[in-house]
Amino acid sequence: MTTDQARQRLWTWLSPAFPVGAYTYSQGLEYAVEVGLVADAEGLGRWIAGVLDFGCLRGQALFFVQAWRAAQARDLAGLLAIAELADALRPTAELGLESAAQGQAFLAALGQVWPRDFLTAWAEALARMDRPAPHAVVVALAAALEGVALAEALLLFLQAQAANLVSAGVRLIPLGQTAGLRLLAGLEPALRQARDAALAADPADWGSAGLVAEWASLRHETQYTRLFRS
């Protein structure tokens, strides 16, 4: 069972106050709003549900599950392979930057405040491979080392990702804060469903069919006026 201390730490790691710069990324949503693909709360809800079901968040959830299980087994080689695969299978350059930058920042903060020998060994091995620490992988690793149950850790990770997209949409569309909260409340079943699907998935079943979201991410790279890094 997850202890209170472990749960508190995970909440801290996934809070907006944790210094990974999550608020600077929109996963291509900024371009989608720019061209009218997402224009209101209903459209934003469909967009987020889509990336959870078959887009980049689905892929992150699958890597999270694999990384948590490898970390629980203290399988350093397996964790390195998962990180390498997650880095290689990034859908676009900006999504790769988002994952790598947040993952490296997350890893640095953990090392300074909550150091662990296994985490340090993994980080050093990644550095020798010249690979970044993918965000989903390092959060899963930290959660497993802390003793947070997989189902709970994954749900909170997905919740944090969805909340960040809602926050971006509130600023971009724009929407009111209450509308954003209603949207998050409406996404609760979709988040649980995405968690359950990732837990039951074949580890080899990684893939993304979020073509419009990935196209928006590609177009965001050259968008003239930008608030977000992705």
What Cα–Cα distance (Å) separates residue 6 from each residue in 147, 152, 159? 6, 11, 17
pLDDT in tens, 42-64: 999 999 999 999 999 999 999 99
Query: What average pLDDT does the structure give for the chain?
Result: 94
* pLDDT at position 209: 81
Work out the average pLDDT over 111-128.
94
| 11 pLDDT higher than 90 | yes
Nearby residues of 29 by Cβ (< 8 Å), 6 or more positions away? 38, 44, 47, 165, 168, 169, 172, 216, 228
**Residue 189 pLDDT level (bands cut at 50, 70, 90):** very high
* pLDDT at position 125: 96
Cis before 16 (ω within 30) = no
Name the residue type at position 204: A
Please report, rounded to a whole number, the percentage of residues in the chain having pLDDT higher than 70: 100
Closest CA to 20 of 113, 110, 124: 110
Please report, rounded to a whole number, the percentage of residues in the chain having pLDDT higher than 90: 90
DSSP string, 106-135: HHHHHHHHS--HHHHHHHHHHHHHT----H
Q: Are 42 and 36 in contact (CB under 8 A)?
A: no
**Residue 147 pLDDT level (bands cut at 50, 70, 90):** very high
* Six token digits for residue 203: 């580890």
Structural domains of the chain sorted by starting position, each given as residue range(s) with its CATH number in brackets: 26-220 (1.10.4190.10)
Q: Are 145 and 114 in contact (CB under 8 A)?
A: no
Give me the torsion for CA of 56, 206, 49, 7, rounded to 10°. Answer: -80
Q: Are 18 and 164 in contact (CB under 8 A)?
A: no
Return the residue matching tokens 């640095």: 108
Predicted TM-score (pTM) of the model is 0.96
